[in-house]
Amino acid sequence: MNSTASEDASPRLDETRTSPSDKVLTIRGGRQAGQPNFKPDEDVALAKAYLESTTDPVKSTDQSGTAFWSSVHVRFMKLSLGSTRTPISLSNRWNNVLNKSLAKWVGHLTTALREYHSGWQYGDYLNRAKAEYADSGQKFKFIDVYNVVKDIPRYAVAESAIDSRVKSALGLDVVETDCGGSGAPMITFARRPEQGRKAAKRARHESGEGDAETDKELVTLKRIAEASEERNRLQKEQLKIEKTNSQIAFFKLNPNSDAAKRFFELQAEAFLQELEASQLGKHPRQTDD
C-alpha cells in the first residue's frame, strides 16, 4: 500500500518547455508581470485541473511538459470562465508556489504523525504540523489545494512513515481518511488505478473514444490560443494608445516649447506615413514591365 513519488504520472514540472517568444517576466507568486495575484478559488481550480491531467490514465505519461500544461490550461479555463491565465502562468504558479508549499506541508504532517502522543486526536497532530510549518516564518495557506491533490502519490503521506500507535489511535488502520467533516486536510494513502494506463489507452483507442477526445481538445486549445492572441493584441494596442496620450498630455503643458513643437511634428509625420501606407495598400502602384 506504500506509495512513491515515481507513481505520479504527470510530467515533471521542470520539463515544461517554452519557445523564446513565449518567455515572459515572472514575479514572486508564480504569476506573470502585469497580471493580478492568484485568488484562492483560482488555486483550487488549478489544483483540480492538475489532478485531472495527472490522473488521466491515457495521456498522463504520454505527453511533454508543454502538452501537459496545455491540458491543465484547458481544464482550468472550464473551471474559471473568463480567466486570462496562460499555460505558462499556471505552470509558474504550480511550480514556484503551490508545489513547494504542498511538499513542505506533507513533510511537516508526516513528521507530526511519526511521533505518538497519548490522548491526541487528529486535530492535535494537524495543529502540530501547522505550528512546525509556521516556524519557518509563514503559515500554510493552501489547505483547500491540499485537499484536492492529497490522493496523488507525490502529495500523500506515506503509510509506512506513520507510527503504528498513531494509526491505531486514529483508526487509520481501518479507515484511510478521517476528518470529521471539518474541512481540514485528511490523511490519505494514494491508491493505484484499477486499470493500467496502457490498458486504458488501448481500450479507448480501439473504441475510437480517444481520437474523438483528442480532436475535441485540439479544437478547444486552438480557440483558446486564438482568443489569447487577440486579447494580447488588443492589450498592446491599448498600452500604445495610453502611452501616446500620456506623451501628448505632457507636451501640451508647454505647447510653445521647442520640444513640444518637435514632438507634434514627429506625430504629424508618423500619421501621414501611416495614412499613405494604408492608401498604398488599397491602391497598389502600377509598374511598367
Instruction: Flag whether pLDDT at 195 surpasses 60.
Output: no
| Residue entry with cell 504569476 | 31
User: What are 32-82's pLDDT values in tens digits?
Assistant: 555 678 999 999 999 999 999 887 765 545 567 788 999 999 999 999 888
User: What are 197-250's pLDDT values in tens digits?
Assistant: 556 556 665 665 556 666 777 777 778 778 777 877 888 888 888 888 888 888
**pLDDT (average), residues 115-127:** 89
Domain residue ranges in the chain: 5-196, 253-283
Instruction: Flag whether pLDDT at 174 surpasses 70.
Output: no
Task: Give CA–CA dist 155/120, Å, rounded.
Answer: 24
| Residue entry with cell 514632438 | 263
Task: Give CA–CA dist 97/8, Å, rounded.
Answer: 19
76 CB-contact burial (10 Å; exposed 0-12 / middle 13-18 / buried 19+)? buried
Task: Give CA–CA dist 12/254, Å, rounded.
Answer: 58
Instruction: Flag whether pLDDT at 18 surpasses 90.
Output: no
Identify which of 26-30, 128-132, 276-280 has the greatest average pLDDT.
128-132
Instruction: Flag whether pLDDT at 148 surpasses 90.
Output: yes
| Residue entry with cell 486504458 | 200
Q: Which strand (E) or helix (H) includes residue 216?
A: helix 209-252
**pLDDT (average), residues 9-15:** 43
